[in-house]
A and B are shown apart, each in its own frame.
Chain A
Amino acid sequence: METANQKEEVSRFQGRVCFWAMTCSLGLAFIFLFFHEKAIAKGIVLGACFSSINFFLMGKAIYMILGRSRAKANAMGFMSILLRYLILAVPLVVGLKYASFNFVAVVVGIFAVQIVTFVDHIIVRPTLGER
Chain B
Amino acid sequence: MPFDIQTIVSIASYGGAGVCMGLGAIGAAMGVGYTGGLANQALSQKPEASGTIVKNMLIGQAIAESAAIFALVIAVLLIYLSPPVTNLLTASALGAAGLCMGFGAIGSGLGSGFPAGEVCLAIVRQPAISGRLTTNMLIGSAVCQTPAIFAMVVALMLMFLDVNNLSVNPTWAALLGAGLSTGLAAIGSGFGGGLAGGSSVSGIARQPETFGKVTTIMLVGQAVSQTPAIFGLLISFILMFKIFPETTSIAAPMALLGAGLCMGFGGIGPGVGNGFTAQSAVKWVARNVEASGILTRVMLVGQAVSQSTAIYAMVVSLVLIFVV
Chain A positions within 8 Å of B, measured between CB atoms, are 2-3, 5-6, 9-10, 13-14, 55, 58-59, 62, 81, 85, 88-89, 92-93, 96-97, 107, 110-111, 113-114, 117-118, 121-122, 125-126, 130-131
Contact A122 B139 (CB under 8 A): yes
Q: A92: nearest residue on chain B (CB-CB)?
A: B76
- Are A3 and B66 neighbours in the complex by a CB distance under 8 Å? no
Determine the distance from Cα of A13 to Cα of B62 in the docked complex, in whole angstroms: 14
Contact A89–B72 (Cβ < 8 Å):
yes
Contacts of A111 in B (CB 8 A): 66, 69
Cβ-based interface call for B151 (8 A): no
Give CA–CA (A126, B132) in the complex, Å: 9
Q: Is B135 an interface residue (CB 8 A)?
A: yes
Contact B62 A114 (CB under 8 A): yes
CB neighbours of A110 from chain B (8 A): 69, 73
Q: B residues within 8 A CB of A107?
A: 73
**Of all chain B residues, which has the CB nearest A59?**
B58
Q: Check B142 for interface membership: any CB of A closer than 8 A.
A: yes
Contacts A88-B72, A92-B73, A111-B66 given; indicate if A121 touches B58 (C-beta within 8 A): no
User: Closest approach, in angstroms, between the C-beta of A9 and any C-beta of chain B?
Assistant: 4
Contacting pair A10 B58 (CB below 8 A): yes
Assess the A92–B135 pair: CB atoms within 8 A: no
User: What sequence of 0s and 1s flags, for each residue 53-75 of chain B, a beta carbon within 8 Å of any chain A beta carbon?
Assistant: 01100110111001011001100
The 3 closest A-B pairs by CB, nearest first: A9-B51, A6-B51, A92-B76
B55 CB to closest chain A CB, in angstroms?
5
Q: For residues 107 through 161 of chain B, which have their beta carbon under 8 Å from a beta carbon of chain A?
A: 128-129, 131-132, 134-135, 138-139, 142
Which of B62, B63, B80 is the one whose CB lies under 8 Å from A93? B80
State the CA gap A126–B51 with chains docked (Å): 22
The 14 listed contacts between A and B (C-beta, < 8 Å) are A2-B48, A5-B51, A9-B52, A13-B55, A58-B62, A62-B54, A81-B29, A85-B68, A89-B76, A114-B63, A121-B131, A122-B135, A122-B138, A131-B131
Interface size class of B (residues with CB under 8 A): 20 to 34
B residues with a Cβ closer than 8 A to A are 25, 29, 48, 50-52, 54-55, 58-59, 61-63, 66, 68-69, 72-73, 76-77, 80-81, 128-129, 131-132, 134-135, 138-139, 142
Whether A93 contacts B76 by the Cβ 8 Å rule is yes
**Closest beta carbon of chain B to A77's beta carbon, Å:** 9
Residue of A nearest to B82 (CB): A96
Instruction: Point out the residues of chain B lying under 8 angstroms from A130, CB to CB.
Output: 131
Q: Known: A10-B51, A58-B58, A58-B62. Is A96-B69 also a contact (CB below 8 A)?
A: no
B52 CB contacts on chain A under 8 angstroms? 9
Inter-chain contact A118/B142, CB cutoff 8 Å = yes
Task: Among B72, B81, B129, find the residue whose CB has the most chain A CB atoms closer than 10 A.
Answer: B72
Are the CB atoms of B72 and A3 closer together than 8 Å? no
Output the least CB separation between B61 and chain A (Å): 7
Report which of B50, B51, B54, B66 forms a contact with A114, defined as CB distance below 8 A. B66
Whether A14 touches B58, Cβ cut-off 8 Å, given contacts A85-B68, A96-B80, is: yes
Are A9 and B55 in contact, CB atoms less than 8 angstroms apart?
Answer: yes
Within the complex, which residue of A2, A3, A59, A96 is in contact with B76, where a contact is CB–CB below 8 Å?
A: A96
Nearest-CB distance from A103 to chain B (Å)?
8
Across the interface, name the chain B residue whose C-beta is closest to A86.
Answer: B72
Are B58 and A85 neighbours in the complex by a CB distance under 8 Å? no
How far does the Cβ of B63 sit from chain A's closest Cβ, in whole Å? Answer: 6
B62 adjacent to A113 (CB under 8 Å): yes
The residue of chain B having its C-beta at the shortest distance from the C-beta of A55 within the complex is: B62
Given contacts A58-B61, A107-B73, contact A6 B50 (CB under 8 A): yes
CB neighbours of A58 from chain B (8 A): 58, 61-62
Give chain A nearest CB distance to B244 CB in angstroms: 31
B59 contact set on A, CB distance < 8 A? 117
